[in-house]
Structure 1
């Protein structure tokens, strides 16, 4: 199973978690995160979102993030799925799952990967609002979340 998938189609959370932990008797914990399209952002209604990326570069960047998580945390495996293309409110956008022997390492690695994804992965988001379409800028709060892991975001 690939560690990273960038895709337009939806994903099945239960199937992904089952595949990630299949046959590994050392797994004592699985932590996962699912991000979805919400109906508001920065105080404005959002009706849809479109995500763009650089094929090849995006996968390579996320693979490097997983390698870094494996170095930092005592985890057994990780899986990241990120959707691209047009998405509607309530659609799943991103899936991150991590396995480890104990829950603490899974929680930390999953949060680390999401913090890294929000700031360092080469994705661009465009939201549809009543005022028209707008590109979503990087958030200072996301950079601060990454900084707690000792990494400075290159968004400034």
Structure 2
């Protein structure tokens, strides 16, 4: 897997925060086994247009130790809800250009419904509970949007985090 800033690896889960582009094949390989009947890949990318504003690029920051702990907790929720699943979640930090992957979630499961549901569960929980913040840089300005659900913004600057 590509040189993460930090990661947690278990027998059935891989969680990482990294600044380098995310390589998908190793994540797919991690969640694949002879017991798996399905594999889903969710790739969240940087889009150019949001709410009528043209985005030039995004910047992500994370409180990495807590982000990894929460990502592992999400994997445990998936394992609890859909037994036998394997999970890999990688999120980028730093500057990301239009079209680049910001987050990749891979879920392998014995059955397709579990793989689809596990993947959806992961992205919704990441947005709700993982301390990752994004700054949108537009043609006419910029703003720290705040949490991933875009409920909290930071008009005076970035969130105050210890790195």
Q: TM-score range by the shorter chain?
A: 0.7 to 0.9
Partner of 2:39: 30
Runs of 5+ unmatched residues, structure 1: 141-156
Higher relative contact order (CA 8 A, sep 6+): 1
Cα distance in 2 for partners of 1:122, 1:136 equals 13
- Answer yes or no: is the 8 Å Cα contact 1:75–1:109 preserved in 2: no
Runs of 5+ unmatched residues, structure 2: 1-7, 152-163
Compared CA separation, residues 127 and 81, structure 1 to 2 (3 A): same
Query: If each structure's helix is expressed as a fraction of its own residues, which one has the higher value?
Result: 1
- Answer yes or no: is the 8 Å Cα contact 2:86–2:107 preserved in 1: yes
Residues 101-146 of structure 1: per-residue CA shift (max 9 Å, x gap): 1100110011000111112110110011022111225347xxxxxx
Partner-residue secondary structure (3-state), 2:39: strand
Partner of 1:154: none
Q: Over aligned residues, Cα RMSD in angstroms?
A: 1.5
Residue 124 of structure 2 is aligned to residue 115 of structure 1:
yes
Residue 22 of structure 2 is aligned to residue 7 of structure 1:
no
Instruction: Tell me the TM-score normalised to structure 2 length.
Output: 0.79
Among 54, 57, 67, the alignment partner of 1:58 is: 67
Partner-residue secondary structure (3-state), 1:124: strand
Residues 12-54 of structure 1: per-residue CA shift (max 9 Å, x gap): 2123202321xx2111110110011000112200000000011
Displaced runs of 4 or more, over 4 A: none
Partner-residue secondary structure (3-state), 2:91: strand
- Answer yes or no: is the 8 Å Cα contact 1:33–1:96 preserved in 2: yes
Partner of 2:139: 130
**Aligned residue runs from structure 1 range 74-85, under 5 A:** 74-85=83-94
Instruction: Tell me the TM-score normalised to structure 1 length.
Output: 0.83
Cα distance in 2 for partners of 1:12, 1:82 equals 11
State how many pairs are aligned: 138
- Answer yes or no: is the 8 Å Cα contact 1:45–1:129 preserved in 2: yes
